[in-house]
Amino acid sequence: MINRREFLKFLLTSTAGFYTLGNNLLYSSKLPSLVDILPPFVDSMPVLSKAFMSKNNIYIMEMKESNHRFHKFLFDSRVWGFNGHYLGPTIEVSPNEIATVSWQNNLPKRHLFTIDHRIHGAGTNVPDVRTVIHVHGAKTYDIYDGYPEDWFLPGNEVLYQYPNEQDDATLWYHDHSMGITRLNIYAGLAGFYIIKDNNRDKNLGLPMDKYDVPILLQDKNFDFFGQVAYPESFEPEVYGDFNVVNGKIWPYVDVDPELYRFRLLNASNARFYNLSLEGLPFYQIATEQGLLKNYVCLDNILLAPSERAEIVIDFSKLKGEMVKLTNDATAPYPEGEAPIGKLKNVMQFRIKNRASKGYFYLNNKAIPDKLDDLVNSNATIIRDFTLDMATDEKTGLMIHLLNKKRWDDPDIVKVKLDDVEVWRFVNLTEDSHPIHLHLVKFIILERQSFDVDRFNKTGDVINTDISRSPEDYEKGFKDVVVANPGEVTTIKVKFEGYRGKYVWHCHMLEHEDFEMMLPYEVV
């Protein structure tokens, strides 16, 4: 394995492969790619820092540009983040603890990436650099939800208040600015927001403290010198060659031979992850909005963009061994190409030699049985929404839509506070779409295959197979649901919390930025 000095020497001497054509600097096709030469598992996975309140009991979250090294053999890259770091510190609160956050925009006035002004909401009539933060999964007032049009400029700050009147859950925060969400999150404007009840976790026997580890997954592309790279013009989906975990490419992490709780978050723009551990099973204990009624033993787990899962891994019988976490989900999902070779790598666990406690149990009686309340409730309204593909008339670009509507369509969905509704997503596209509703949590009822050609001709949903219940690891409260192509995906949701205007959208960020997002109003 080469060391950093040898690698940098290679980069410098490889400039002989560059040549000039007109005013353009090009390089020889013989130059190997970073994927070919960059070794995996040479960086330790960073432990994400925790946010602390100021003397005024306010979390200060300053967005700013900094430098970050994604791999020890690469040069530093310019990135965005919070409080001087790539990604943001983890905000931890207790249920019902009111949290006030000062979101401060101290970013430069020039964006890290090229702005495609053809995208709705990102025209030349608005500044290139603007932000608004959404706490994904939070039940909060609409003025603090991070509405895409509520962006603010460098040199400004906003105070948002989160009541946290909800169950323990692994949430996350990220930028939600109209037309440039995909760019701002890719640049680094994301982090964990965890609602945690330590007494309950202790009573349940769940791993705690250093054995409770948030893991933020992304995929990225880099130029040959390690600068984060994003396409200059719009692409319907963007996938990276490198899996990045808590800010490092293919890292390793040293673990004790104990039980660990990992809070997994897929924060990629478009990539799905189907994660597995070289023959080692793990136990899922929670979905996005809280604990499952019963934990589920899994060999692999599928995570769409913005989905979270809490899992427990038992390393007690693997003293001195190493195991890899890998991904084999296709891109695009589900009909694209699967990663091969090094591209499957996510991270490596290195198990130490020491004693183990070896305990894990889940006392179901300690879990509030709120799930059945929603399952058995009567829905007041059933709504059907199509997921569509279309060609944008102005740009000629292929875009995705919800119900064939665009953001500025005046006919928005209005729901009544505390009503229970059933929403059905009729997917007419070739992609699986992770659909996210702000403010609320919901349950998945079923998925049903249907005749797409017949629907396109007549508008009738003709079932072609028996309905499928959600996977066992989905049978909890969710705020994201994967709607697969050729299927009707049905959820039940109670619109509890607050009145106001919120949004729902696909969480593949390129889709979201170009019209696959609509407002809805709670009245």
Residue 123's alpha-carbon distances to 22, 235, 296, in angstroms, are 32, 17, 47
290 and 328 inside one domain:
yes
Which letter, b or e, does each residue of 192-223 get, where b requires 16 or more Cβ atoms within 10 Å of its Cβ?
bbbbbeeebbeebebbeeebbbbbbbbbbbbe
Per-residue HEC secondary structure of 318-353 comes to CCCCEEEEEECCCECCCCCECCCHHHHEEEEEEECC
At 373, give phi and psi (nearest 5°).
Answer: -60, -40
Does residue 472 share a domain with residue 342? no
Q: What is the block-wise mean pLDDT of the chain (523 residues), using blocks of 10 residues?
A: 59 47 45 83 97 92 98 96 96 97 98 96 97 98 98 98 96 98 98 95 89 97 91 94 98 95 98 94 94 91 98 91 97 96 96 71 58 86 97 91 95 96 98 98 97 92 92 96 98 97 98 97 98
Whether residue 216 is found in the same domain as residue 354: yes
pTM of the model: 0.93
CA distance to 16, 346, 464, per residue, from 274 (Å): 40, 11, 27
Please name every residue paired with 39 in a beta bridge, in sequence order, or none if there are none.
none
Regarding whether 515 and 386 lie in a shared domain, the answer is: yes
Domain with residue 302: its CATH number is: 2.60.40.420
- Sign for the CA dihedral angle at 499, 503, 504, 508 comes to negative
Q: How many structural domains comprise the chain? A: 3
Q: Read off the amino acid at residue 225.
A: F
Domain presence at residue 41: no
Q: Could you say which DSSP state residue 253 is in?
A: E
Q: Are residues 378 and 359 in the same domain?
A: no
- Residue 25 is predicted with a pLDDT of 45
pLDDT of amino acid 7: 61
Compute the Cα dihedral for 467, 473, 475, 476 and give only its sign: negative
Q: Would you state the structure tokens that stand for residue 216, as one six-digit string? A: 């933020």
Same domain, 348 and 391: no
Residue 428 lies in a domain: yes
> What is the rounded CA–CA span in Å between residue 349 and residue 26?
39
Domain that holds residue 18: 4-31
How far is Cα 504 from Cα 489, in angstroms, rounded to an integer?
Answer: 15
Q: Taking Cα atoms as reference points, which of 159, 130, 193, 167 lies closest to residue 54?
A: 159
Write the DSSP symbol of residue 35: H
Nearest 5 degrees, angle CA 89-CA 90-CA 96? 140
Domain end: 363, 393, 413, which one?
363
Asked if residues 514 and 118 have their Cβ atoms less than 8 Å apart, the reply is no
Co-location of 512 and 397 in the same domain: yes
The verdict on residue 98 lying in a domain is no
Both tokens assigned to 490: 């049905």
Question: Are 222 and 348 contained in the same domain?
Answer: yes
pLDDT of the residue at 274: 98
Is position 194 within any domain? no
Q: Give me the pLDDT at residue 403, please.
A: 97
Do both 355 and 258 map to the same domain?
yes
Inside any domain, residue 226: yes
Residues 233, 275 share a domain: yes
